[in-house]
Amino acid sequence: MRVFQEEQKMNQIWIKVALGIALIVTFIPIVKNWNVISLQSSFVQFKNFLGPIIVLLVFFLIERITLKTRIDEHGISYQYFPFHWTFKTIKWNEIKLTSIRKYNAISEYGGWGIRVGFLTKKGKAFTTCGSIGLQLILKNGKKILIGTHKKEELNKALELYKNKLT
């Protein structure tokens, strides 16, 4: 029994830079008006800090995002934490076709993350960054793309279990 496992983080530097800029921009009015803000009620003070708090919460969320992929004798499983608390498993007998392909996250799905290609009928995508993914076409017609950074290992795992596709 061979198991393929991969764990990816949302580690695109431009996202962190953009959030850093947003944090600075939301703090500037607070710093400029600190003399007035410090004299206001606690509720009004909280409202002034709401922007930076939201930016920090988004930053914290993005830092926690993890895409886990697992391929074993049962099928292909994925978990996009914190949006999926448990693995979602697609059993081998539900899969019509698997392939590893290059994709364009922006033009095909509108970006990285959990995406649904409504207009292009590309199906769902679960990605963190990059442009290589495992394309699944299910017997019910649904399409799922799972991003990967381990193309060679993934290909070996698919070869090992290709006889499971019926």
| pLDDT, tens only, 109-135 | 888 888 876 655 788 999 998 899 999
Tens digit of pLDDT for each residue in 142-160?
A: 999 999 999 999 999 998 8
The amino acid that residue 90 corresponds to is: I
The pTM is what? 0.78
Same domain, 71 and 98: yes
Q: Which residue range(s) make up the domain with 91? A: 67-164
Q: Are strands 123-127 and 143-147 parallel, antiparallel or unpaired?
A: parallel
The amino acid that residue 24 corresponds to is: I
Same domain, 22 and 50: yes
- Is position 148 within any domain? yes
Same domain, 49 and 116: no
